[in-house]
Structure 1
Amino acid sequence: MYDTFNGSAHPRSPREIAIAAMPGDERVWVPQAEGVWFRPLFLNTLQGQWCNLLRVRRAGILSRHLHPQPVHGYVIKGRWHYLEHDWVAETGSYVFEPPGEIHTLTVPADCEEMITFFNISGCMVYLDEANRQVGFEDVFTKIDMCRRHYEKVGLGADYIEQFIR
């Protein structure tokens, strides 16, 4: 039998997270670009991983990028695709993105809203048309974006702490 420490079998185990994935408060969605937001769910600073919902309310290209680690996605609403592939990820689709693959995320014109759950390890490396790096995101840049946004909208910069492990 295990001795328990705050519900865990080990005192150094991180706390669980159990939250409503779709927030009732619009302020929880962090703006990322015009018509694009993310909702943080889990920010793992020890392993460089994050889980979030990506919400898009505009058509067109979102970004050209690659990931040095695998990415897993699940489409909750709407649809999207990569210009480099002939498949379309629709509501209920699971997507696996292998490390190192360059792809261009695009939302079709007839999709009013797309929401996808992503589990990302490592970072996102943004690329231009010549495959030159033009930016990146990792768990720490995500945390910084959230802190600034939550402070600005009145939730407080420490609102993000509940998602950080």
Structure 2
Amino acid sequence: MDFAHFTVAAAMRRAGLDAWIPEGEGKWSLPLYFLPDGAGWVELMRLLPGVRLGLHRHTGEVHALNLAGERRLNDGRVVRAGDYIHEPAGNVDWWEATGTDELLVHVVVKGEVEYLGAHQSVLQRINAADRLEEYRRHCKAMGVQPRELG
């Protein structure tokens, strides 16, 4: 068993889940931890090759470690398994899963994620409370009790 599979299996058990939380076509998440006082969250993100995260801004810093697969950032950099990216608060970017393998990223998000439209208007905001509620809804739909992930 490789490292990524071991990590996912352990995270699933810890969260009390046997399935990823779907977030749209070819994108899933798995919560690992919710930071105190709603300051942010830690999760695994899984994307199929070709799936793109739209233009977004972070109100807090983000730390991301690629565990498997690769992604291309809007500045052209290719991030592969084992590569680490730090995004400071206020960073605006988009990126997409590339290559032939599924992308698996360990992400620590502080603050909110704001998805942007024309002229950088905010189309959607996602914060820790939203992520926690998604986890609870998914647990309810799966018939499992949510765990304390904080």
TM-score range, shorter chain: 0.7 to 0.9
Larger Rg: 1
For 1:95, the aligned partner's letter is I
**Can you give the 5+ residue segments of structure 2 that lack an aligned partner in the other structure?**
1-5
Which of 99, 103, 106 in structure 1 is aligned with 2:89? Answer: 99
What is the match of residue 131 of structure 1? 120
| 2:8 alignment partner, one of 15, 19, 22 | 22
TM, length-normalised to structure 1: 0.77
**Counterparts of 2:84 and 2:40 in 1: how far apart (Å)?**
19
Q: CA deviation at 1:145?
A: 0.6
Contact 1:72 1:119 in 2 (8 A): yes
Maintained 8 Å contact 1:45/1:139 = no
Q: Is the 8 A contact 1:82 1:104 kept in 2?
A: yes
1:141 to 127, 130, 146: 130
**Contact 2:38 2:129 (C-alpha < 8 Å) held by counterparts:** no
Q: Percent identity?
A: 21
- Give aligned pairs, total: 140
Q: CA RMSD in A?
A: 1.8
Post-superposition offset of 1:47: 4.8
Q: Is the 8 A contact 1:27 1:150 kept in 2?
A: no
Q: Which runs of 4+ in 1 moved over 2 A?
A: 23-28
Structure 1's unaligned 5+ residue stretches are 1-19
Q: TM-score, normalised on structure 2?
A: 0.84
| 2:67 aligned residue (76, 87, 92) | 76
Offset of 1:142 from its aligned partner? Answer: 0.2
| In 1, Cα distance between equivalents of 2:24 and 2:90 | 24
By percentage of residues, which structure has more helix? 2
1:63 deviates by 2.1
- Aligned-residue offset at 1:42: 0.5
CA 1:145–1:54 in 2, change beyond 3 Å: closer, same or farther? same
1:33 counterpart SS class: coil
Residues 153 and 116 (structure 1), Cα distance of their counterparts in 2 relative to 1, 3 Å cut: same
